[in-house]
Amino acid sequence: MTIKSHERILMTGAAGNLGKQMRTRLKANCSQLRLSDRLAFDGDAQAGEEIMLADLADAQAVMRLVEGVDAIVHFGGVSVEGPFNPILNANIIGIVNLYEAARQHGVKRVVFASSNHVTGFYRQSETIGVDSAPRPDGFYGLSKAFGEDVARFYFDRYGIETACVRIGSSFPEPKDRRMLATWLSFDDLHRLITACLTTPVLGWSVIYGMSNNAVTWWDNTGARHIGYVPQDSADVFRDAVYARTTAPDLGDPAVQFQGGGFVKMGPFPG
């Protein structure tokens, strides 16, 4: 049973792919779920919901957005690799605005949707832990590494606890052989968020967002204090994935490095 741990939780990026999946699930974690995105939603607020639109780059709008909440699940921002300026506004300026608003309004717990692309330039032949140094594979991964540093600064100085969840590949099922290592089911994502919201002492923590996959490049041993226990696995899809895909080209950087195709994107026009 999911613990209703907070009165009002803010979820940014609520109109995005993962936000849509978590919208119903996260209502079990709180009495009121405040949903936010930069763009309009499909449909009106349902029971136990409230909707507030805000551009993360607008500090005053974010300040209003955070007022009255006691925890934040931050999915907002640009979620793919691309030109720097949109990532700068949403992911870099936006994360500073969010934490400054959290500080001023006394919010003490944040679940930050970081990304596996923070460590995308480690090789697929390596296993890395939660203490491994960032090796971003592009502007997007760089922005998420910056966000993790912002979260650590606001913990060290102001005591705002954050789980930096380096999400792997969260889809209904793995799309290719790489995702057999990185896949995170939607239900496991909710289990992970719930663990981050309810663990007694969170501190500033990094944890990889993955299901219980036999093949993995990530070791979450250093984040056991969070209490996340995945229940799903990419392994049940292995035969089907192999049947519809070809053997990997070991000379392809997308196969050599954990970030996959992101390591080859760009440069982008000014």
Q: What is the largest CA-CA distance in the chain?
A: 53
Cβ(111)–Cβ(73) under 8 Å?
yes
Alpha carbon distance 132, 206 (integer Å): 10
**What does each C-alpha distance from 238 to 198, 214, 259 come to in angstroms?**
33, 10, 20
Return the active site residues: 140
Coarse DSSP helix, strand, coil percentages of the chain, rounded to the nearest 5 percent: 40, 20, 40
Identity (one letter) of the amino acid at 103? R
Backbone torsion region of residue 10, taken as left when φ is above 0, otherwise alpha when ψ lies between -120 and 50, otherwise beta = beta
